[in-house]
Structure 1
């Protein structure tokens, strides 16, 4: 059975971030997965996914990002993520902090929602020496565009950007509709009641979030072939068609435009935003789909089983 370990990671600028590791049983480890959580979220909200991965031989390393979860241990720190450069630097430093004795194991980088968008930015612009150590990238419901139902008005965005130039650390509550997180109503209730899901961003952080999405949409930020381990980019994308937080159609168009040989998109018909927390057996299917892709790419030569732009649907 998998075990867990909590800890703390100190960034180069002295910020202490909460970490948690899900550890497989000894002698069963196949690979390592670093997973980045989403907006108004924290790593312990993945308790239906990370233990499953660990029980199948994948060590999962995660942390509450700057401004979120247990890393925001004061009111003043809530949403205080810093600019995109800081967000990506934290990911770099977290990867570099992983146990040195595990370096022989393949490394994958994944993320959900806001974290998925950050992973795509990282694949496009991260340090080359770190990218060369990453076997593959996984994104779940990546934030490339806000769904129209959840999108703030243009006036709100414009005024927020203007104010952010003067008061970048000014906090603003951007409440997510808990009913849109999962088709399981109990998940929505738990999300709404979770004090660590505080829905609070700063003007700087929210602007950075929107800018990252816009750069992916417009092609200013592009994930290209040849950046990962062994000179290959291996990418797995998962999205529900009924996601009303991150827009599926935009993600679909973005994916279709990728010039990457080893890419796969899993489309889940009628599913909501947090695929790992969908009701009943659906979350099990999602975990199995992810595990299948990971296992296919855990070959000793770093090549895995390459798929040429495949797509699969879950009904």
Structure 2
């Protein structure tokens, strides 16, 4: 019987199927006590996640912040915010989340459950280091989504409040059907392929120097595995669903910019519309007219730091910038 030769497209498809498989980080059993060292967040499974710390140098510590970076970023994201909040009296700890920055298995998705477990562990360590100070979690973009996924557990571990800066909530609920079809197809046939977006004109910040630094930074992931992108959307789906459950205990402050160019405006509007109607001291939204996705790195970021510090000190007081007033 004569064999039909394989077409080039079929050959490529078979190669993709054989060479690439979906991966999730394998997390080992607990082998050690978690700890903060000078340079690392040592986890229960024995992994060292790089850690950066900023402490006030001219005043006592008023409060403590554990900060989570965004997708493909790492703890360096908080260089400016860490210094800014330290100058205002707050200690800030930021670690590279698993799969990002300088961690083992860089580029491999760790899973929402493990990312939540890590931030809970880090929050406990920060509380133990400063037992008499209020404790806050600060999340930028994906980091905000992780904190929302962890929200039901935060009261029990002594978290006083959460600050969500442009939290990533672009889940399946608010994505076009074609996106779901294409992502399901990609995860089926080429989950391990790393893709670098090209030809997409987006401006994440008004701080062009910060954006150039990101572009040159070898620790910032430029090409994303399909299975990691899929994991991010699953996390954002969980974060979007968490909106109505943000009951104000612990209290929350959500920050968005009018020039948000990464998350679709319709998704942000639907998410904000799903939030419970709380007293301002329990839950508050701040809207910055000149703000971008990376609010904490914008040229006007000092006003955001002032607002965050004022809110951590007294959640009932209006924010100094007025960004918590309803937009016209």
TM-score (ref. length: structure 1):
0.78
Within the candidate set 149, 162, 170, 1:137 is matched to 162
Within the candidate set 52, 55, 58, 1:23 is matched to 55
Q: C-alpha distance in 1, partners of 2:298/2:167?
A: 16
Kept in 2: contact 1:37–1:115 (CA 8 A)? yes
Q: C-alpha distance in 2, partners of 1:81/1:156?
A: 19
Deviation at 1:255, TM superposition (A): 2.3
Q: C-alpha distance in 2, partners of 1:178/1:36?
A: 26
Q: Is 1:277 aligned with 2:297?
A: yes
Within the candidate set 245, 248, 271, 1:254 is matched to 271
- After superposition, the C-alpha distances for 1:20-69 in whole angstroms (9 at most, x for unaligned) are 11011365211001110001111112222111101111010110111111
The equivalences for 1:100-119 within 5 A come to: 100-119=128-147
Q: Is 1:242 aligned with 2:259?
A: yes
Deviation at 1:127, TM superposition (A): 6.0
- Identify if the C-alpha distance between structure 1 residues 6 and 45 changes in structure 2 by more than 3 Å, giving closer, same or farther: farther
Aligned length: 282
Kept in 2: contact 1:144–1:247 (CA 8 A)? no
Q: C-alpha distance in 1, partners of 2:256/2:142?
A: 13
Kept in 2: contact 1:216–1:222 (CA 8 A)? no
Kept in 1: contact 2:86–2:92 (CA 8 A)? yes
Kept in 1: contact 2:154–2:250 (CA 8 A)? no
Kept in 2: contact 1:113–1:246 (CA 8 A)? no
Q: C-alpha distance in 1, partners of 2:314/2:82?
A: 18
Give 5+ residue unaligned stretches, structure 1: 227-231, 298-303
- After superposition, the C-alpha distances for 1:228-251 in whole angstroms (9 at most, x for unaligned) are xxxx33110111122121234422
What does residue 304 of structure 2 align with?
286
- Name which of structure 1's ranges 99-108 and 52-61 shifts more when overlaid on structure 2: 99-108
Matched residue SS, 1:47? helix
What does residue 301 of structure 1 align with?
none
Q: C-alpha distance in 1, partners of 2:65/2:178?
A: 33
Deviation at 1:311, TM superposition (A): 3.1
Matched residue SS, 1:250? helix
Larger radius of gyration: 2
The equivalences for 1:1-315 within 5 A come to: 6-25=38-57, 27-72=59-104, 77-98=105-126, 100-123=128-151, 125-126=152-153, 129-130=156-157, 133-145=158-170, 153-163=179-189, 170=192, 172-175=194-197, 180-217=203-240, 219=241, 222-225=244-247, 232-259=249-276, 260-261=278-279, 262-279=282-299, 282-297=300-315, 311-312=324-325
Matched residue SS, 1:41? coil
What does residue 300 of structure 1 align with?
none
Deviation at 1:99, TM superposition (A): 6.4
What does residue 10 of structure 2 align with?
none
Matched residue SS, 1:70? coil
Q: C-alpha distance in 2, partners of 1:86/1:171?
A: 23
TM-score (ref. length: structure 2):
0.75
- Identify if the C-alpha distance between structure 1 residues 50 and 162 changes in structure 2 by more than 3 Å, giving closer, same or farther: same
Compare the two structures and name the one with the higher strand fraction. 1
Kept in 2: contact 1:18–1:64 (CA 8 A)? yes
Deviation at 1:79, TM superposition (A): 1.9
Q: C-alpha distance in 1, partners of 2:222/2:53?
A: 25
Alignment root-mean-square deviation, CA: 3.1
